[in-house]
Amino acid sequence: MRLAMIGLGRMGLNMSVRLVRGGHQVVGFAPSEETRSRAARAGVRKSASLEDAVRRLRAPRLVWLMIPAGQPVWEAVDRLAGLLSPGDLVVDGGNSRYKDASRHSRVLAERGISFMDVGVSGGVWGLKEGYCLMAGGAQKDFRRLEPLLKTLAAKDGYALAGPVGAGHFTKMVHNGIEYALMQGYAEGLSLLRGSPFKIDLAKMCRLWNRGSVVRSWLLELAQEALRKDPKLKGLRGWVADSGEGRWTVLDAVELGIPAPAITLSLYERFRSRMRDSFQNKVLAALRQEFGGHAVRKSR
């Protein structure tokens, strides 16, 4: 198949390379000439603009977006609505808010253009191992996209989750679960490290991945990180959040469905980024005021 990949960052470029290796023709666009040239060296046909990428395709055309969520996707969809023709298909494969999908689908449908949202998981390892792909859209559009999904995915690693929006909703919840799993591993390994025993953490991660009920790819990654730096001296305990964890918690509240582990794991990420936080100062002040307890003064 032939498609345009808009966005050639870590995910977009690796996906493009995997598609090229699978026999597909990929026209790629990114704002940076350096990025476009790097993609060209990997077999991606570079284009100078979004308009140029569309011109290089034959109808019916397929355009896959791998760009930051929010305004960049909205702007790209609006521009594509004026560039594409009835029968063409736009895919948003980024970490977009699932509620945006219905708006994008409506804008494109007015021009006879189809839309699908595809949640993509696999990170930087996806190029080698394949991706997990969660699609939302019409069955006919899914069948049209399926040859690309087969090439991108790990074995049996793609599915139609439901109508437009279901792909990104599923990916959002997937990321929320990921937050909670990572928090669980972090707490458990911290307990092992603080024990009275000299436990080799990398060795335990490897052991747990041999038949244990907590085995996972995340644990393999923990093993590798601890093998390279057993005390993780090269890292600060500062943890970012991508936004999908926040959306998961917000939707849990909106739906009235309790998700305490996911919510707490998100708050722990917030806490990791606070140094000498005001809330802890309030706690210290209250203990001093009501009980005369000792406090540590700021320098």
Distance CA 14, CA 128 (A): 9
Is position 171 annotated as part of the catalytic site?
yes
Distance CA 148, CA 152 (A): 6
Hunting for tokens 């591993």 — which residue is that?
185
Distance CA 112, CA 74 (A): 18
DSSP 204: H
Nearest to 11 by CA among 30, 33, 32: 30
Q: What's phi and psi for 189, nearest 5 deg? A: -65, -35
Distance CA 22, CA 132 (A): 16
Considering 46, 128, 171, 268, which one is annotated as catalytic?
Answer: 171
Hunting for tokens 């191992």 — which residue is that?
129
Q: Positive or negative, the Cα torsion across 67, 71, 77, 80?
A: negative
Considering 178, 187, 281, 297, which one is annotated as catalytic?
Answer: 178
Known catalytic residues are 171, 178
